[in-house]
Structure 1
Amino acid sequence: MPESSLSRLSFSRKTDDEIFSKDARKIIDPRSISLRAIKELRDEVLSGKAAQGRTKPGGKLQGRVPYVGVPITFEPGKDADPKPRQDWSTEDITEYVVLALTKSLPQAQFYLNHVDEKDVGAEFHGTFVSQARKCRFQDLVEALEDHFGQDADTAFIWLDLFCANQPLLTSADEALSPDVILARNQYLTHGLHRAIGRFESAVIFFDRWDVPAPLQRAWCVWEIMGAITQAQRFQVAFAPGQEQAFIETLLKGGVDGLIKILADNNNMRNAKCWKMEDKEMIDKAVEMTVDGGYVTLIKEVNQRVHAWRLQMAQDAIAQARDGDPLKLAEILHCTGTLLNSQGEYN
Structure 2
Amino acid sequence: MHMEETEFLTKKEKILIKQLMLLPLLHNQKKEEVDHKTIPFPKNGIKLSYILNEFIDECGGKEALEGLTTKDICDQFVIPATQDYELSYCDMILEKAKANAELNGVVKTATVFISHAWKYKFLDVLSALEDHFKDEPDKIVWFDVVSNNQHKGPELPYEWWATTFKDAIDQLGHTVMVMAPWNDPIPYKRAWCIFEAYCTSVTNAKFEIAMSNNERQAFIEECKHGPTIIINKMLSIVNAEKSQSWNPKDKERIHYLIRKEIGFANINSMVFDQLRDWVLIVALSELEKVENDSKDEADLMNLVGTLYKDQGKYDKVEPLYKECLAKREAKLGSDHPDTLMSMNNLAELYESQGKHNEAEPLYKECLTKRGTILGSDHPDTLESMNNLAGWYTAEGKYNEAEPLYKECLTKRIKVLGRDHPDTLVTKNKLVVFHGRRYQTSKTNQLYKNLLENRKTKLGSDHPDTLMSMNNLAELYGSEGKYSKAEPLLKDCLKKYKTILGPDHPDTLEAMNNLATLYFKRRKLLEAEPLLKECLAKRKRILGSTHPDTLQTIDTLTTLYFKQREPHEDSLAEITTILGPDHPDTLKAMGQLVTFYYSQGKYEKAESLYKNSLAEITTILGPDHPDTLKAMGQLASFYFEQGKYEKAEPLYKDILAMHQRIQGPDHPDTLKAMGQLASFYHEQGKYDDAEPLYKDILAMHQRIQGPDHPDTFEEMKRLAGLYSDWRKFHEAEPLYKDLLAVRERILGPKHLDTLTAMNDLACLYGRHRKFEKAKSLLRECLGKLHSSGYGFLHPLTIKCRQNIDYFHEQQYYPCVIS
Classify the TM-score, shorter chain: 0.5 to 0.7
Secondary structure at the counterpart of residue 272 of structure 1: coil
Q: Is the 8 A contact 1:247 1:316 kept in 2?
A: no
Which of 131, 135, 141 is the matching residue for 1:157?
141
Q: Which residue of 1 aligns with 2:168?
A: 195
Larger Rg: 2
Report the counterpart of residue 36 of structure 1 in structure 2: 49
Report what 1:338 is aligned to.
Answer: 307
- State the alpha-carbon separation in 2 of the partners of residues 83 and 92 from structure 1: 14
Q: Deviations over 1:124-169 (max 9, x none)?
A: x41222211122333333333343443332x21211111111123x
Please report how far the alpha carbon of residue 102 of structure 1 lies from its aligned counterpart in structure 2 after TM superposition: 1.4
Aligned to 2:105: 118
Q: Does 1:306 align with 2:276?
A: yes
Q: Which runs of 5 or more residues in structure 1 are unaligned?
A: 21-27, 54-81, 169-179
Higher relative contact order (CA 8 A, sep 6+): 1
1: CA distance, partners of 2:88 / 2:250: 25
Report how far residue 32 of structure 1 moved.
1.9
Q: Give how far 1:86 is off.
A: 4.3
Give the match's secondary structure for 1:150: coil
Deviations 1:180-213 (A, max 9, x none): 5335887556532232222242222222333222
Instruction: Provide the residue aligned with 2:73 in structure 1.
Output: 93
> Amino acid of the residue matched to residue 151 of structure 1?
E
Counterpart Cα distance in 2 of 1:188 and 1:281: 9
With over 3 angstroms needed to count, the CA separation of the structure-2 counterparts of 1:331 and 1:234, relative to structure 1, is: closer
Match of 2:39 among 5, 11, 19: 19
AA aligned to 2:43 is P
How big is each residue's C-alpha offset from its partner over 1:206-243, in whole Å with a ceiling of 9 and x where there is no partner?
22333222211112222222222236433332333222
Contact 1:36 1:152 in 2 (8 A): yes
- Tell me, in whole angstroms, the C-alpha distance in 2 between the residues paired with 1:92 and 1:275: 15
- Which AA in structure 2 matches 1:303? D
Contact 1:215 1:221 in 2 (8 A): yes
Match of residue 2 from structure 1 = 24
Structure 1 position 248, deviation (Å): 3.0
Structure 1 distance, partners of 2:144, 2:181, is: 21
Aligned residues of 2:44 and 2:108 also touching (Cα < 8 A):
yes
Q: Superposed, which structure 2 residues align to 1:184-333 within 5 Å?
A: 187=160, 190-230=163-203, 232-252=205-225, 254-274=226-246, 276-290=248-262, 293-314=263-284, 315=286, 319=290, 325=295, 332-333=301-302
CA distance in 2, matches of 1:201, 1:248: 28
Change (3 A) 1:94 1:287: same
State the secondary structure of the residue aligned to 2:58: coil
Shift in Å at residue 271 of structure 1? Answer: 0.9
| 8 Å CA contact 2:45, 2:141 repeated in 1 | yes
Could you report, residue by residue, the CA deviation over 1:97-137 in whole angstroms, capped at 9, with x for unpaired residues? 2112012x1x3432124432321214xx4122221112233
Question: Superposed, which structure 2 residues align to 1:45-84 within 5 Å?
Answer: 45=56, 49-52=57-60
Amino acid aligned to 2:24? P
C-alpha separation between the residues in 2 aligned to 1:184 and 1:283? 13
CA distance in 1, matches of 2:247, 2:144: 20
Aligned residue number for residue 109 of structure 1: 87
Could you report, residue by residue, the CA deviation over 1:37-95 in whole angstroms, capped at 9, with x for unpaired residues?
222235xx3xxx43349xxxxxxxxxxxxxxxxxxxxxxxxxxxx97634433223212
Letter in 2 for 1:263: L
What is the CA RMSD across the aligned residues, in angstroms?
A: 3.6
Q: Given the superposition, is the C-alpha separation of residues 244 and 52 from structure 1 closer, same or farther in structure 2, using an over 3 Å criterion?
A: closer
Q: Deviations over 1:263-297 (max 9, x none)?
A: 3212333211345554343223113212xx33333
Unaligned runs of 5+ in 2: 1-22, 94-102, 317-817
Structure 1: how far apart are the matches of 2:209 and 2:66?
23
Distance 1:320 1:309, change over 3 A: farther
Q: Which amino acid aligns with 1:255?
A: P
For 2:237 and 2:299, how far apart are their aligned partners in 1? 26
Secondary structure at the counterpart of residue 154 of structure 2: helix
User: How much does 1:316 deviate?
Assistant: 5.8
Residue aligning to 1:135:
120
Distance of 1:286 and 1:9 partners within structure 2? 23
Residues 48 and 140 in structure 2, CA contact (< 8 A), matched pair in contact too = yes
CA distance in 1, matches of 2:253, 2:141: 28
Higher strand fraction: Structure 1 or Structure 2? 1
In the TM superposition, residue 15 of structure 1 has moved relative to its aligned partner by 6.0
In the aligned structure 2, how far is the partner of 1:209 from the partner of 1:158? 23
- 1:246 CA displacement: 1.6
State the distance in 1 between where 2:289 and 2:115 align.
31
1:110 aligned partner, one-letter code: S
Structure 2 CA distance for aligned equivalents of residues 318 and 33 of structure 1: 31
Check 1:31–1:330 CA distance in 2 against 1; reply closer, same or farther (3 A cut). closer
Confirm or deny that 1:166 pairs with 2:150. Answer: yes
Q: Output the TM-score relative to the length of structure 1.
A: 0.67
Distance of 1:211 and 1:196 partners within structure 2:
26
Is the CA contact (8 Å cut-off) linking 1:222 and 1:282 kept in structure 2?
yes
Q: Tell me the SS of whatever aligns to 1:134.
A: coil
Structure 1 120/273 Cα, relative in aligned 2: closer, same or farther at 3 Å?
closer
What is the CA distance between 1:339 and its match in structure 2?
Answer: 2.0
* 8 Å CA contact retained: 1:32, 1:158: yes
Residues 281-319 of structure 1, C-alpha deviation per residue, up to 9 Å, x if partnerless? 3223113212xx333333333333223322443426864
1:322 deviates by 6.2
Three-state SS of the structure 2 residue aligned to 1:118 is coil
SS in 2 for 1:167: coil
- In the other structure, the counterpart of 1:70 is none
Secondary structure of the 2:128 match is helix
SS at match of 2:105: helix
Structure 1 residues 241 and 92 mapped into 2: Cα distance closer, same or farther (>3 Å)? same
Please report how far the alpha carbon of residue 259 of structure 1 lies from its aligned counterpart in structure 2 after TM superposition.
3.4
In the superposition, the TM-score normalised over structure 2's length comes to 0.31
Instruction: Work out the number of aligned pairs and report it.
Output: 282
Distance in 2 between residues matched to 1:202 and 1:329, nearest whole Å: 32
Q: Given that residues 33 and 119 in structure 1 are in contact (C-alpha distance below 8 angstroms), is that contact kept between their aligned partners in structure 2? A: yes
Please tell me whether the aligned partners of residues 19 and 186 of structure 1 are also in contact (alpha carbons under 8 angstroms).
Answer: no
Instruction: Decide which structure has greater helix share.
Output: 2
